[in-house]
Structure 1
Amino acid sequence: MTDKLTPGRDAVRRKGWLGAHRWLILRRLSQAVFLGIFLLGPWAGIWWVKGDLAGSMTFDVLPLTDPLILLQGMVAGHWPELTALTGALIVLAVYALVGGRVYCSWVCPVNPVTDAAHWLHARLGLPKGWQPKASTRLWLLGTVLAVSALTGTIAWELVNPVTMLQRGIVFGMTAGWALIGAVFLFDLLLARRGWCGRLCPVGAFYGLVGQKSVLRVSAANRAACDDCMDCFAVCPEMAVITPALRGTTAETPLILSPDCTNCGRCIDVCAQDVFRFTHRFDAHPAPGRADPTPSPARQRRAA
């Protein structure tokens, strides 16, 4: 097995398996908890939370509404009730603070599906495949809103893999599972990390929400980087790392791109402890790199 297939191997040696998978484990627990609280009602009759990720009521007190669902309803000509509007504002405030695409890595139940596809893609040594432009998901987001406006419906919910997955778990095997399988095969065979990184309009929306979020990852110890490229190998949005990791002394070590999902995998796999979670005001310059450009061989390895 080559190093390319085992990013984080040195981190495991230095920090132990748990230390090198800490944030990954916490993310899986978070995803399981968010999904589980919605399943308590239909599966066990414990209705602490009623609804799903599109809209819910917790303990009959706290409303939460997916703001993209609300926006689609509004452009479709349906003015929301005060409860739904309040729920959407709460969700917007949370994701604007912690980072919009935290939803993608810590909440969305489709994330383990696409992560599994990426893992198998790497294990099989498959080619990178077709890569749509990063702006494609923004165009799809605009298309979703346009279709909602033209049809008077919440268009995305008709094909939303998140909704389909939740319904499939609650009500059993349905056509929605075929859509989840299609997402898995798309990432496995056609476009590496293509769904979340290039197509999903929900990720595009939350990226816009979290542009000025407080929670950030920082390459605060970037002078210790040994160019192992493991962080690039595991990052679902590897382009966000370069400005922070390979910047000059005067440039911020913060990863400021709204495309960052704050998944923490770069922190996990780095044996040199280059990365850490911090806040956007912790922008003190870190020591720069003597050679900010990786070798061609290492660039190929990251790709």
Structure 2
Amino acid sequence: MSQQERTVDGPVPTGRTAPAHLDELAQALEQAEAVIVGAGAGLSAAAGLTYSGERFTRLFPDFIARYGLTDMYSAGFHPFPSPEVRWAYWSRHIWHNRYEPGPLPTYARLVRLLAGREHTVITTNVDHQFQLAGADRTRLFYTQGDYGLWQCSVPCHVATYDNEETVREMVLRQRDLQVPGELVPHCPVCGEPLAMNLRVDASFVQDEGWHEAAERHRAFLTAHQGERVLLLELGVGANTPAIIKYPFWAMTADNPHATYACLNLGQVGAPSAIADRSVLIDADIDAALSALEPMLATAGRP
């Protein structure tokens, strides 16, 4: 079984919140020859990109009133009455979560912390906030898709299409919760509707860019096997642990020089087999990254 599939058995202790753990994380960053970042939904939530509550009611009051929507996640599966209404919702969703930076500079803090360090990023997030914060896109692997891309809904071919220009038009021109019919996107090859390039089922298109990013990520892991590696997990919960969490545990177990760090607000832990090489911080991610910056600056880093 490969390191990307194997998990590490053992009880999962709870995380502790104490300033000493930030010191440990700062030290691990300073000593690491390479950093492997795994980012989950909790990182975007820490940046203020929440899908429910005040932000949802502020951005979608009209859709809430008419369709009884409760949050952005479930709204994505709502059976809207027409393509024009569906794309009125989705264009607004895409715009506020993909093309606008998060309310808090969480991603920018992380990008600054990684500057000058050999690193790669794997993320299940589809909002591409890393790129908006100035990250090097060649170091990013978005496994689950991109709000900024469309694909054929069939799909009849393996390609994706940038949607920024059309989404902007949809947001600007929608009236009465509908977009003009001529803006509803269709596949240029077969004429069927275009769909979001998101991994919701087996129709998800892994295009050339996806495979190139996957290969760069795999090559990075191979190149740094056995080195002093920091596996930095940020905001990863229990929904998709097989993509980031379990592989990070396994890679830490396989490499005696590796350190596993888990930073999240809740759901923080590590198997007993790697507990002595784990840094567990149960805290707000934005606040923790903010506190890390001056620590690393004091150590002479940018």
TM-score, with structure 2 as normaliser: 0.28
TM-score, with structure 1 as normaliser: 0.28
Normalized per residue, the structure richer in strand is 2
Q: Using CA pairs below 8 Å that are at least 6 residues apart, which structure has the higher relative contact order?
A: 2
Normalized per residue, the structure richer in helix is 1
